[in-house]
Amino acid sequence: MRRVVILGPGGAGKSTLARRLGHAAHLPVVELDTRFWNSALEPMPAHEWRDVQTTLAQQPAWIMDGDLGPYDVLEPRLERADTVVVLDVARWRCLWRSLRRSRQQFDFWRWVWTW
């Protein structure tokens, strides 16, 4: 296990799992949300996002946590991953965790609800 992708809806615990797994396995963690959204919370264009992920995925070892819903381009990281973890957490739990964490835009809530 050298290249791990963690997927799931908002509030599922992707970042927490990534940090804990990274610490236990001595792997660098890449939180994709921090790379994808700009300071105004605008999404990166798909062609740029593909290029960023391709560059990140070329590293020999990593854990990439993030699921950007309708904005995501999964192929660059899935092609290089040797392990994929999908967090299938109850919708009510994801909504509750997300609500406790921060206020989000409507698109976020729709994505969590329909994931």
Residue ranges of domains in the chain: 3-114
Q: Which CATH number fits domain 3-114: 3.30.300.30, 3.40.109.10, 2.30.30.790, 3.40.50.300?
A: 3.40.50.300
The C-alpha atoms of residue 98 and residue 72 are separated, in whole angstroms, by: 19
Task: Give 56-78 pLDDT, tens digit per residue.
Answer: 999 999 999 988 877 888 999 99
Low-confidence ranges of the chain (pLDDT < 50): none
User: Which residue matches tokens 């992707």?
Assistant: 14
**pTM of the entire structure?**
0.79
pLDDT of residue 90: 83
The C-alpha atoms of residue 11 and residue 27 are separated, in whole angstroms, by: 23
The C-alpha atoms of residue 13 and residue 88 are separated, in whole angstroms, by: 10
pLDDT of residue 92: 74
pLDDT of residue 113: 61
